[in-house]
């Protein structure tokens, strides 16, 4: 009897957790991104410039709730992954007069306006 009652209580608690409202969308600028190696269907990610960060931190939020954190590198013109061992590759692109910066890390690619990396960012 005790086991049955405690199991029912656990189910009620789990049901209450799943009924909560979804987390609010992160604040920041919407950017194009290609996630998990999928190259045909761009997604919309959100880039957040972390205010007051001494390391020039930015966080890129994925539509599925995941995120990647980046810090400015020692030169101040590039980024390093803040959490993880994946190497970051940065490439400046110009498409029909619109400049953007492609950040590749693992199977993901993010396309940011150049002002997120400073005006002196060079193509690699």
| Residue 8 is assigned to a structural domain of this protein | no
20, two tokens: 């909560």
Q: Pull the structure tokens for residue 26.
A: 């992160």
89 domain-assigned: yes
Strand order in the sheet with 67-72: 79-81, 67-72, 58-61, 43-49, 29-34, 108-112, 98-105, 88-95
Residue 13 predicted with pLDDT over 90 = no
Residue 35: pLDDT above 70? Answer: yes
More confident residue, 76 or 46: 46
Predicted confidence band of residue 123 (pLDDT cuts 50, 70, 90): very low
pTM for the predicted model, two decimal places: 0.70
- 37 domain-assigned: yes
Map residue 111 onto helix, strand or coil. Answer: strand
Separation CA 7–CA 93 (nearest Å): 56
**Domain total for the chain?**
1
CA distances from 72 to 42, 51, 88, 98 (A): 25, 14, 11, 23
Residue 60 falls inside a structural domain = yes
* Domain assignment of residue 57, yes or no: yes
């Amino acid at each position: 009897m005790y086991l049955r009652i405690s199991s029912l209580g656990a189910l009620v608690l789990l049901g209450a957790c799943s009924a909560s409202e979804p987390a609010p969308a992160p604040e920041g600028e919407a950017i194009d991104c290609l996630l998990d190696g999928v190259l045909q269907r761009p997604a919309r990610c959100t880039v957040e410039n972390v205010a007051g960060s001494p390391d020039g931190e930015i966080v890129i939020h994925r539509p599925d709730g995941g995120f990647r954190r980046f810090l400015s590198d020692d030169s101040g013109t590039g980024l390093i992954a803040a959490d993880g061992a994946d190497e970051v590759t940065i490439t400046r692109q110009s498409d029909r007069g619109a400049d953007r910066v492609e950040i590749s890390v693992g199977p993901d690619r993010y396309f940011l306006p150049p002002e997120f990396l400073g005006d002196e960012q060079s193509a690699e």
